[in-house]
């Protein structure tokens, strides 16, 4: 078991049953899941807040809630009608709506998946629901395909309802239940210029963000096509997805249904799982076993909440340490760090230089604007290489400025290239103006425009590099980041 950390900027008091609410305006609420095992390997029960100490970056923190989550205890049955069936029900800040329950999300990403693979994924889910669900399990169903993303079922333990939803998964669905975007683009929002892997990661980020209010552990089983990750993709989007999952207390369990992932794609899926406390499954012979593995990743644990004494949203990695005061022989399992996003997300759009610099330095990448990036190189007489970088941004990002009477859209760029040692070898600061006159006063033509294209060049020696490019639309302040790892070989 691992720690899961989740925080929210609170404007109201903590709403939990025990202990009494604590009012902490503008404080960061951190939720941790801590497994405590004795020398015999069994979970230790009957501990309270006074038995634990928590420090964040060495500073003691006051525990405001310590609740044992006993997944073997009798549970209250949750049937249709108790929860909405078209949306994942959010919880009030600090509330724990599902005590002693295991929350599992079966997420079917059908974009780019072969029909036979989607059928196998659905069959595995049916087998799990019919014969492997435990009394403590609550399962939610989400699917994503070319026509958008939908919640098929909120968390429920009604097997018949879940099996019925799975039976209909391949067919048409009624309107409603579309997941609203939460800062990342989903498959419907991105244009054809965005690589499939980037669309999938952004949609997965949206799933994680939708679960953020449910503070306790969640496991998302992600049925996907690993082949999509064989092509270059946005490493900034990958990191943003990982950060969103960690902050939402979500472990990701990707399953490559088709078993077609290359070695690099397999490494990506394993990294995504490992950094969120999940497991990746590339063995397509037994998909049901992968579901059971995700189920077993959540066992009895303590849910611990505290208000961080550090109220800065400063894009830093914070280190947490949990100890038992008396039982020194006990083993504690938890995640020991989390990343706090930068307050630049709410900074004034007029401060463009600061916004670009903050986004470029951010540990938690800003991916509000989708981008695609391509690179190619040619040899120069000096022995160096000319690197051509082409960035493309969907035309729909220009519509907001046009509708507010602007004569043109301005996209600001800032970027840098670092070598393998982390040394900065090149930098960029530029802007691209897109006049609206050619669009003849009709904003719909902006939506139809496939992309805004920006090109720039760098002179580099052969070697391994990381390019990070930030783009910000000047009127709205929306910002996007693309990170590309590439090699210029000696020829």
Q: Say yes or no to pLDDT of 23 above 90.
A: no
CA distance 269 to 228: 11
Residue 222 has pLDDT above 90, yes or no: yes
In whole angstroms, give the CA distance from residue 222 to residue 281: 10
Could you give the domains of the chain? Answer: 28-70+301-341 (2.60.40), 102-254+266-280 (3.40.50.410), 352-488 (2.60.40.3880)
Collapsed DSSP state (helix, strand, coil) of residue 90: coil
State the pTM of this model.
0.78
- How far is the first Cα of the chain from the last one, in angstroms, to the nearest whole number? 48
Average pLDDT over all residues of the chain: 80
Give one word for 445, left, alpha or beta, with left for phi > 0 and alpha for psi -120 to 50: alpha
Taking 90 as the threshold, does the pLDDT of residue 414 lie above it? yes
Residue 169 tokens read as: 């998964």
Query: pLDDT tens digits, residue range 170-204?
Result: 655 444 444 444 333 333 333 444 467 777 888 89
Cα separation, 464 vs 421, in Å, equals 9
Query: 213 near 195, Cβ under 8 Å?
Result: no
* Residue 413 backbone phi and psi in degrees, to 5: -125, 140
CB 289 within 8 A of CB 279: no
Q: How far is CA 410 from the centre of its chain?
A: 29
Of the listed ranges 37-46, 243-252, 278-287, the least confidently predicted one is 278-287
pLDDT tens per residue across span 306-351: 989 988 877 778 899 999 998 778 899 888 888 776 654 445 455 8
How many Å apart are CA 294 and CA 429, to the nearest integer? Answer: 45
- d(CA 469, CA 236) in angstroms, rounded, equals 10
Q: Does residue 472 register a pLDDT over 80?
A: yes
Q: Can you tell me the distance from the alpha carbon of 389 to that of 467, in angstroms, rounded to the nearest whole number?
A: 10
Q: Which pLDDT band, with edges at 50, 70 and 90, does 149 fall under? A: confident
What mean pLDDT do residues 111-122 have?
A: 88
């Amino acid at each position: 078991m691992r720690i899961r950390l989740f925080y929210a900027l609170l404007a109201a008091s903590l709403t939990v049953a025990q202990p009494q609410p604590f009012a902490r305006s503008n404080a960061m609420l951190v939720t941790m899941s801590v497994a405590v095992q004795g020398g015999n390997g069994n979970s230790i029960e009957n501990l309270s807040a006074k038995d634990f100490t928590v420090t964040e970056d060495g500073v003691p923190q006051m525990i405001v809630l310590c609740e044992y989550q006993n997944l073997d205890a009798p549970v209250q049955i949750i049937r249709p009608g108790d929860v909405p069936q078209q949306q994942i029900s959010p919880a009030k800040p600090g509330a724990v709506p599902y005590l002693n329950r295991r929350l599992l999300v079966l997420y079917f990403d059908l974009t780019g998946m072969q029909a036979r693979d989607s059928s196998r994924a659905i069959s595995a889910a049916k087998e799990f629901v019919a014969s492997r669900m435990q009394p403590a399990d609550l399962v939610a169903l989400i699917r994503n395909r070319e026509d958008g993303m939908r919640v098929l079922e909120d968390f429920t333990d009604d097997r018949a309802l879940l099996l019925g939803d799975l039976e209909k998964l391949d067919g048409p669905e009624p309107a409603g239940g579309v997941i609203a975007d939460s800062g990342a683009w989903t498959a419907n929002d991105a244009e054809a210029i965005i690589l499939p892997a980037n669309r999938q990661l952004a949609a997965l980020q949206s799933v994680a963000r939708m679960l953020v209010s449910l503070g306790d552990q969640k496991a998302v089983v992600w049925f996907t096509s690993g082949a999509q990750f064989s092509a270059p993709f946005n490493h900034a989007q990958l990191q943003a997805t990982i950060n969103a999952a960690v902050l939402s207390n979500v472990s990701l369990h990707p399953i490559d249904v088709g078993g077609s992932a290359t070695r690099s794609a397999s490494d990506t899926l394993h990294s995504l799982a490992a950094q969120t406390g999940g497991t990746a499954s590339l063995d397509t012979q037994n998909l049901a076993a992968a579901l059971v593995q995700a189920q077993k990743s959540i066992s009895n644990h303590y849910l611990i909440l505290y208000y961080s004494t550090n109220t800065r949203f400063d894009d830093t990695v914070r280190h947490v340490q949990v100890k038992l005061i008396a039982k020194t022989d006990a083993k504690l399992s938890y995640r020991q760090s989390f990343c706090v996003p930068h307050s630049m997300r709410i900074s004034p759009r007029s401060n463009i230089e600061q916004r670009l610099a903050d986004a470029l330095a951010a540990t938690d990448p800003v991916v509000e604007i989708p981008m695609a990036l391509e690179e190619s190189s040619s040899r120069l007489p000096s022995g160096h290489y000319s690197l051509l970088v082409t960035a493309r941004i969907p035309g729909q990002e220009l519509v907001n400025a046009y509708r507010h009477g602007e004569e043109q859209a301005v996209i600001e760029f800032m970027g840098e290239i670092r070598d393998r040692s982390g040394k900065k070898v090149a930098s960029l600061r530029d802007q691209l103006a897109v006049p609206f006159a050619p669009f003849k006063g009709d904003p719909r033509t902006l939506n139809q425009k496939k992309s805004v294209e920006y090109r720039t060049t760098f002179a580099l020696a052969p070697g391994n590099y990381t390019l990070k490019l930030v783009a910000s639309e000047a009127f709205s302040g929306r910002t996007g980041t693309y990170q590309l790892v590439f090699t210029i070989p000696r020829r």
